[in-house]
A and B are shown apart, each in its own frame.
Chain A
Amino acid sequence: MTAVAELVDFDEVVATYDPVLGLEVHVELSTNTKMFCGCPTTFGGEPNTQVCPVCLGLPGALPAVNGTAVESAIRIGLALNCEIAEWCRFARKNYFYPDMPKNFQTSQYDEPIAFNGWLDVTLDDGEVVRVEIERAHMEEDTGKSLHVGGATGRIHGASHSLLDFNRAGVPLVEIVTRTIEGTGARAPEVARAYVRTLRELLKALDVSDVRMDQGSLRCDANVSLMPKGATEFGTRTETKNVNSLRSVERAVRHEMSRQAGVLATGGSIRQETRHFEEVSGTTRPGRAKETSEDYRYFPEPDLVPIAPSREWVEELRGTLPEPPEERRKRVQADWGLSDLELRDLDNAGAIDLVAATVAAGAPSGEARSWWVSYLSQAANSRGVELGDLPISPAQVASVIGLVAAGTLTNKLARSVVDGVLEGEGDPEQVIESRGLKVVSDDSALLVAVDEALAGQPDVAAKIRDGKVAAAGAIVGAVMKATKGQADAKRVRELILERVNA
């Protein structure tokens, strides 16, 4: 065992080295059935209940291609500005692994369905980085191994393993970038922004659940360092098990510091697969890749080539959602946003959410305000992405509507939103259970107003003399007395009525 080298401070890393990234994203398609058989693809079923002779690789069983998966793959390719192959084939990737039923994965090799594309990603400060896409290809997922008796579910030390083949054969599209160079200190941020933008795009295409926590979107981050000015890439590592956008950024950042540490002590980087540890934010070595494994790819003889007609491809192009950049421009015009406001909205990853909230009936200003400020803070404090908050745009729109109708004050509205985030149900249910309805019964309010006026006769006199601004003090007192449940606007009206009566 080699001693673990010290991590190098990130600023020092980027002063000495240029990082080179390569990102491989696996997307599980949300088709009803698997890639090559009719089994359902729903997540979370009892182990081995969604299987058949085909996806179990029983002797004699043969694959038949899921047309919807091909359609999704083409749409993904088009949305990534790729060329779509006029003719392509599946290939067998041969290697033995217990959770892979046939001991080969039906994938694509030198003939991917989509290739040569790009995706523009916007960083936090508005800088746009173009990420080149090498290819997007179709393949099938493997089953899952559950190692029992060892530490933390790892195979090392396990007494036995259980296999679940429900996931075996679920359609995947693997999207591979070309090397991303020249991003320097922003490399971790670029990695995160790329996966985020890709995720938004896939969501808009409606081809996948894109749930990183459930593995329907998985990112492998290839990272290497080369000394500044060098032209030859350093040895890369591939980090897997990166299960959130935040982890993508952390994993790249950590790997840069770790590799610099190894290099600083005169060591060399091993080409290997590493696993990201969510808790510590570090990576640990997995399977060593001393040489690139020989997968003995060859064309899958059980399937015929796929030759998507140009008419079909154009028809699918017509089904694409608006490209993100054009959408941003349109949204800016529609909602009358300044460049800065648009950037805030984009950085928060809130455009889709605001649009959906507006679509649910809310004015764009309020919708934007909720998502960019209050809900963004909530997401930050919970360490999740905005879109992963357990509140829907429709629920936000409903809260906004209740405020507009005077049923909720802004303060109460925040409490309602908190309740929804805590899983207490829809806004209406939260209002009910938390007793948050605005006090709108004037008689109850009048008592409070009278008490407040009586308590501060000097202020009452000022108001009577026409110093209307002084009413604020009374409003405050009433709000305090009603524990904030009164509508401040109505309280002010009542105060003026009472004083001038």
Chain B
Amino acid sequence: MTDLIRLTAAELAAKIHSGEVSSVEATQAHLDRIAAVDPAVHAFLYVDAERALQAAKAVDEEVAAGRAPVSPLAGVPVAVKDVLATQGSPTTCGSKLLEGWIPPYDATVTRKLLEAGTVILGKTNMDEFAMGSSTENSAYGPTRNPWDLDRIPGGSGGGSAAALAAFEAPLAIGTDTGGSIRQPGAMTGTVGVKPTYGTVSRYGLVAYASSFDQAGPCARTVLDAALLHEVIAGHDPMDATSVDTPVAPVVAAAREGARGDLSGVRVGVVRELVGEGHQPGVLASFEAAVRQLRDLGAEVVEVSCPSFDLALAAYYLIAPSEASSNLARFDAMRYGLRVGDDGAHSAEEVMSLTREAGFGPEVKRRIIVGTYALSAGYYDAYYGSAQKVRTLVSRDFDAAFGQADVLVSPTSPVTAFRIGEKVDDPVAMYQVDLCTIPSNMAGNAAISVPSGLSDGLPVGLQIFSPALQDHRGYKVAAAYEAARDAAQGGSLIHRVPELEVSH
């Protein structure tokens, strides 16, 4: 029997839809895997086996009745980052403040997953309110990287990425505000996609920084990511920032790219994202990847985006500013944690005590920074200046896309670091997002695809596409992925060490 958990989502879907394997079997195999390895990995905050099996059974009944699957991914299990509202299941955002909160509604992404017949296994761990680059800021303890359990899986979506690398789920949903899908993808040897801002609804995505937040697919292959992308994307009247355009043809692009021909494609290497601060192994992997793209027929040019040097600093003003306002609602009045409600404290005191007890240090740091940046007398110098940088970053992208169809860089300047290594140095932690942040600033699309290993740890190649041209990145990523596997003698992800299974 095939090891169901090691199949790609596309392969698994084909088996389920043909009746060769039932969705219940596939779901159970993943639930068993979670039970076996998650005590060590801690990718999940919540698993609902009963509900997952129920959903799987419904798909099996459809297949048995001879009806066409409701989507190409019907019956395939998926893990959802715990920042998306799931009606009837806890949604904590990795925070004590929301411990026990059960949303009375589904996020649009959740609804689309359910309507597509995918099987939601549970909710994955994350840095508290998506603020972090290592998943160490989760109030429920860190997630460990399946490539080395002493190391972080990246963040904030470390849970979703680790679940894929540990074969606990073939697909996962992440959210990317400054790199929280792509950077964990790079650090776990998986594929992570930040779609164009506005193409996947944010309704029900608990906001960290509204103008950056974007949900996207996480998978082990480019095609799987594309299949999930087409399930969750699309216009949503519930999200005013949602764009009303057809979903980019990403599945077709992934299939086209897999044929391995990139002739006529111009690839721009972003000078500012390849240099100081990068580990040598990361740079070596990136250079090898660029050579591979050239071998596939792509024309490689160098482009310059000088304002990217300012992007990190600007991001860490705008995102906390929005966060300081977005997180104001966690006040103990209507839901979540409530501290000090003993009749002796006023409502304002209860708010204050709850926020003091419920938020972790990084969340407090960003709320304070953001509050400061928006204050009278500082607004222009901080928030205002940062918005100007944002405009400059967008202009740099526009100019660069005038010279190239897609842009490339390493996804992260470093590979997965040891747990605890950077917790006392927030600036060093922020710098891990150096290469991913510009895309969030501009709102365009970017993919991270594994580009090999450095000292046994995965490295990611990042491919940027212009806004609404997400398919360009998929095509290049799929072509690269196929060439990489051919050159390295098989899929990278299967080189992940065997995890010790607990019984």
Contacts and interface: CB of A to CB of B under 8 A. Distances in A.
Interface of A: 53, 56-65, 92, 94, 96, 98, 101-104, 159-161, 163, 294, 296-298, 301-304
Contacts, number: 103
B210 interface: yes
Given A96-B331, A101-B334, A61 B375 contact: no
A103 B347 contact: no
A163 B374 CA distance: 29
B347 A298 contact: no
A285 B446 CA distance: 56
A103 B103 CA distance: 19
Contacts of B334: 56-58, 101
B219 to A, nearest CB: 23
B383 interface: yes
A413 B436 CA distance: 81
Given A56-B334, A94-B328, A98-B331, A62 B206 contact: no
Contacts of A102: 328-329
Nearest to A51: B334
Interface string B368-381: 00010011100100
A61 B207 CA distance: 9
B321 interface: yes
B205 A60 contact: yes
B91 interface: yes
A61 B240 CA distance: 11
Contacts of A96: 328, 331, 348, 351
Contacts of B324: 94, 296
A301 B206 CA distance: 14
Interface string B308-344: 0000000000000110110011110111000000010
Given A59-B93, A61-B203, 13 more contacts: A53-B105, A59-B103, A59-B207, A59-B329, A60-B207, A61-B105, A63-B240, A98-B333, A103-B328, A294-B375, A298-B321, A301-B322, A302-B210
Contact of B329 (A57, A64, A159, A296): A57
B303 interface: no
Nearest to B209: A301
Contacts of B91: 59-60
A298 B240 contact: no
Instruction: Tell me which of A60, A64, A65, A297 has the highest count of chain B C-beta atoms within 10 A of its own C-beta.
Output: A60
Contacts of A57: 329, 334
Interface in B184-226: 202-207, 209-211
A296 B374 CA distance: 5
B246 interface: no
Contact of B325 (A62, A94, A304): A94
Interface in B379-402: 379, 383
A301 B328 contact: no
A98 B354 CA distance: 13
A103 B331 contact: yes
B73 interface: no
A67 to B, nearest CB: 11
Contacts of B383: 298
Nearest to A37: B238
Nearest to B110: A60
9 contacts: A58-B85, A58-B104, A58-B105, A59-B207, A59-B329, A60-B204, A296-B376, A302-B240, A304-B240
A60 B85 contact: yes
Contact of A65 (B93, B107, B240, B375): B240
Contacts of B379: 296, 298
Nearest to B328: A103
Top 10 nearest A-B pairs (CB, nearest first) are A103-B328, A301-B210, A296-B374, A301-B211, A60-B204, A59-B206, A60-B85, A60-B206, A98-B347, A57-B329
A64 B351 contact: no
A59 B335 CA distance: 9
Interface string B432-451: 00000000000000000000
B152 to A, nearest CB: 26
B176 to A, nearest CB: 16
B239 interface: yes
B200 to A, nearest CB: 13
Contact of A60 (B107, B328, B351): B107
Nearest to B372: A296
A77 to B, nearest CB: 22
A63 B238 CA distance: 7
A294 B324 CA distance: 14
B461 interface: no
Contact of A302 (B103, B241, B321): B241
Contacts of A65: 240
Contacts of B351: 96, 98
B260 to A, nearest CB: 41
Contact of B347 (A56, A60, A64, A161): A161
A303 B202 CA distance: 12
Contact of A92 (B209, B238, B325): B325
Contacts of B240: 62-65, 302-304
B163 interface: no
Interface string B154-175: 0000000000000000000000
B374 A62 contact: no
A62 B203 CA distance: 6
B477 interface: no
A101 B347 CA distance: 13
A53 B330 CA distance: 14
Contacts of A64: 237-240
Contacts of A56: 334
B101 interface: yes
A15 B343 CA distance: 52
A160 B344 CA distance: 10
B98 interface: yes
